[in-house]
A and B are shown apart, each in its own frame.
Chain A
Amino acid sequence: MSESSASALQLGRPSRQPAVHPENLSLDASCFSSPPVNFLQELPSYRSIARRRTTVHSRDKQSGTLLKSTDSYSSQLEDRIAENLSSQSLRNYALNISEKRRLRDIQETQMKYLSEWDQWKRYSSKSWKRFLEKAREMTTHLELWREDIRSIEGKFGTGIQSYFSFLRFLVLLNLVIFLIIFMLVLLPILLTKYKITNSSFVLIPFKDTDIQCTVYPVSSSGLIYFYSYIIDLLSGTGFLEETSLFYGHYTIDGVKFQNFTYDLPLAYLISTIAYLALSLLWIVKRSVEGFKINLIRSEEHFQSYCNKIFAGWDFCITNRSMADLKHSSLRYELRADLEEERIRQKIAERTSEETIRIYSLRLFLNCIVLAVLGACFYAIYVATVFSQEHMKKEIDKMVFGENLLILYLPSIVITLANFITPMIFAKIIRYEDYSPGFEIRLTILRCVDVMRLATICVLGVHAVSKITSGLSVSLTLFWFQCWETQVGQEMYKLMIFDFIIILAVTLFVDFPRKLLVTYCSSWKLIQCWGQQEFAIPDNVLGIVYGQTICWIGAFFSPLLPAIATLKFIIIFYVKEWSLLYTCRPSPRPFRASNSNFFFLLVLLIGLCLAIIPLTISISRIPSSKACGPFTNFNTTWEVIPKTVSTFPSSLQSFIHGVTSEAFAVPFFMIICLIMFYFIALAGAHKRVVIQLREQLSLESRDKRYLIQKLTEAQRDTRN
């Protein structure tokens, strides 16, 4: 035993600083060597934990299966174990199958001692569990793309697999949104169309509006060239404008059923609110796990060493080359973490003048960033204005290509800006001297929040300004007539263009690049350039952008979620093909847990930024008088107060009370009080946890000291 303690000393005590131990300095260092392991294995604490993990007590002497000796507290243990046996499923035990079989037989014999009621309870709970399992097995068969994602996981690891799971989630989300819109809005219209029910159409109030505002001219027919169909398909004008794709088509005011009238404007508004609320709830539910973990480990870095070393290897990898890549990415990651630790220490040791220099440099660079963003926004605004002004020229007066170019000018400018600004930001951030992890996060933040999603806000602002300003009489009239359809068309164009760009980049950039690398690999330049990396953050930003467009556009163009579903399905297959054949996986690691939380956070930011223009357009901007279901109302939101006024008076007064200030302010104050209570509780728990940890390490030191003394005493008595 003395050899093992000596060897424990020789392993080299690392210079680990324990938290706060002033007693450290007073006692002798030899007291703190690791005690021999076999001594530790004899301790009652070790034994009881070992027992809890693997074996089970049995006092059933008749079956003769006494697995391990019982404690002296046998009677208490027996009751507890009997309870445990009935509550825990057999599978959760860390035993092999034959031992579990024995355990099951013991359980069945023990059942005899229970009362009728307990027996029936256990039987019913077992059958319920079995039923749940069968149901779960059924649903796994229905899971979309299960095999594809599994094979991607095996070949490329869980980081890339999380991107494809995210894509699948978006497909399902869009499908459900479309189902909501279908049930609430499209189905009654279809019923009307096929004359199954009667319905009343929207009355246009002639009295108080100008006659010009109520007429909505659709593009005239006549001699239409072939390419105009393609332009219409790509931009939503012409023959598409009158279809149910856009808001202007929905002119039904109420659908008469046998007992009641189905109010379509109300249903339209409710469907919008419903799909936004559903998206919010679903995203929050999915991100709860990552968030909970983030809350627990509040004082530690999100990526801890324990996580990387014990859970770092993806056990599901089956591919040799992927395994090598994983090894190298782990090497890179761990080295980068140690490097970051060193940089953080260096930052903590900065002198004050260096700090001032760094902060002033950062301020200057942030101003540059804001200037770049401002320039981009202005360029997008100018492009949108130019495009709108030229949109109504006759088709045959312009050349086909020029027409298309002008139509798509805003989208082109947005895409160019999204392409250039990340490069600029990447150059700038190098001078700002952040730690590498923070650098990555700040770059992504700048690209996501500010660039991609705010461009949509710029479009929204532009739309608002068109209506409220008097740019030109005819243009104002035009917008006032059916601005929702215009916005819907813009969203439709953005979505189609985004889709085309993704397809084009994959087919015309990545594929030739791969061909070049395979067949012309003798050229140095080609070799240096290499194949396209499958960069996860960029791909995620792309699909979040598409989803944000879908959320905003679904109010103005109810069929847009269906188009988005199809688009994401096609993108899944295209990306999968591109991953397998034209890209190589990035050597920079991307962890699954971090990814899931990050993707959902970015999506949530997109949702919040989508809600802003929608709320403005629903509640502030007057609805157009010439088209759509809301021509009888001043704003879209007015439907709700009008519906509430048809309720019985008691319900009305209740609703008025709940939405008044007299209710809202006390409610808000109570919520604040509850929040303060929970914050205080969390703080108290944290303090207790710190105290317990200190106590634990003190106890352990006492234990080692005592074991040391015991070992010496035993040695002395033997000598």
Chain B
Amino acid sequence: MGQCLRYQMHWEDLEEYQALTFLTRNEILCIHDTFLKLCPPGKYYKEATLTMDQVSSLPALRVNPFRDRICRVFSHKGVFSFEDVLGMASVFSEQACPSLKIEYAFRIYDFNENGFIDEEDLQRIILRLLNSDDMSEDLLMDLTNHVLSESDLDNDNMLSFSEFEHAMAKSPDFMNSFRIHFWGC
């Protein structure tokens, strides 16, 4: 009936989530709160699911240009269970290790999901980042070429996962910018 109670989560579950994710205790409880506010009333939180639209409209993701990709990568069969949301928050938390972030960043940026970031993916990334209507072809091609010349080590016009990993390990901003605070408390 109505909204589920806050302390519905058992202590063992909380411990398990703390052991399996990078989130702290408070963060898990806050996400639990947010999840319960959004999920349909009356359901046990472990069985409830959220749609991709609901997750896209969370304040943390609302203005993110890659929110549709984030939702696609972290959801299962088009819906988010509570554990999916936790997994997403864990990857984007401050304490997450770089290899995990690089892995999911690769999946997010791979728009056509062929296991490589090719020119088409790069152009789509740039368009999303710049968010402007008057983008000249030359500018796009220039930028794409620069990115590929810097990180494409084997000259095949695509970034494989190793090349992406190598580029992100050298990038000074990556760890700072690939962070989302999912809770408002």
Q: A46-B160, A137-B25, A313-B66 are in contact. Are A300 and B181 (CB under 8 A)?
A: no
Q: Is the CB of A315 within 8 A of B151?
A: no
Stretch of B2-10, B36-44, B47-55, B167-175 contacting A (4+ beta carbons < 8 Å): B167-175
Q: Is A386 an interface position by the 8 A CB rule?
A: no
Chain B residues near A97 (CB, 8 Å)?
17, 20-21, 83-84, 86-87
Once bound together, how far apart are the Cα atoms of A38 and B112, in whole Å?
A: 13
Known: A305-B143, A311-B168, A591-B173. 9 other contacts (CB 8 A): A16-B145, A34-B158, A94-B104, A293-B170, A293-B172, A307-B173, A311-B174, A311-B177, A320-B63
Chain A residues near B100 (CB, 8 Å)?
91-94
Q: A97-B83, A98-B83 are in contact. Are A323 and B158 (CB under 8 A)?
A: no
The 10 closest A-B pairs by CB, nearest first: A700-B154, A593-B172, A323-B63, A311-B174, A97-B83, A311-B173, A305-B146, A307-B171, A327-B131, A94-B103
Q: Is A344 an interface position by the 8 A CB rule?
A: no
Q: Is the CB of A697 within 8 A of B153?
A: yes
Q: Is the CB of A315 within 8 A of B64?
A: yes
Main secondary structure of the interface of A (DSSP, over half): helix
Interface residues of B in 131-185 (CB under 8 A from A): 131-132, 139, 141-151, 153-158, 160-162, 164, 167-168, 170-174, 176-181
Q: Binary interface profile of B, 41-79, with partner A (CB < 8 Å = 1, else 0)?
A: 000000000000000000110111110000000001000
For residue B73, give the distance in angstroms from its CB to the closest CB of chain A. 10
Q: Is A150 an interface position by the 8 A CB rule?
A: yes
Nearest to A314 among chain B residues (CB) is: B177
Chain A residues near B83 (CB, 8 Å)?
96-98
Nearest to B92 among chain A residues (CB) is: A315
Nearest to A140 among chain B residues (CB) is: B24
A–B complex contacts, Cβ < 8 Å, 10 sampled: A15-B145, A91-B90, A97-B84, A101-B16, A140-B24, A158-B173, A300-B150, A314-B176, A593-B172, A593-B176
Q: Is the CB of A100 within 8 A of B99?
A: no
Q: A53-B103, A158-B177, A312-B129 are in contact. Are A40 and B116 (CB under 8 A)?
A: yes
**Which among A41, A101, A323 is the interface contact of B115 at CB below 8 angstroms?**
A41
Q: Is B119 an interface position by the 8 A CB rule?
A: yes
Q: Is A533 an interface position by the 8 A CB rule?
A: no
Q: A53-B103, A697-B153 are in contact. Are A310 and B109 (CB under 8 A)?
A: yes
Interface size on B, residues (CB 8 A): 79
Q: Is A296 an interface position by the 8 A CB rule?
A: yes
Chain B residues near A642 (CB, 8 Å)?
none
Q: A94-B100, A96-B84, A315-B92 are in contact. Are A330 and B119 (CB under 8 A)?
A: no
Interface-centre pick from B20, B142, B143 (highest chain A CB count, 10 A): B20
For residue B132, give the distance in angstroms from its CB to the closest CB of chain A. 6
Q: Is the CB of A696 within 8 A of B154?
A: yes
For residue A515, give the distance in angstroms from its CB to the closest CB of chain B. 29
Chain A residues near B139 (CB, 8 Å)?
334-335, 338
Interface-centre pick from A320, A593, A701 (highest chain B CB count, 10 A): A593
Chain B residues near A40 (CB, 8 Å)?
115-116
Q: Is A29 an interface position by the 8 A CB rule?
A: no
Once bound together, how far apart are the Cα atoms of A309 and B122, in whole Å?
A: 9
Once bound together, how far apart are the Cα atoms of A40 and B154, in whole Å?
A: 13
Q: Is B14 an interface position by the 8 A CB rule?
A: no
Once bound together, how far apart are the Cα atoms of A608 and B119, in whole Å?
A: 48
Q: Binary interface profile of B, 99-124, with partner A (CB < 8 Å = 1, else 0)?
A: 11001110001000011101110100
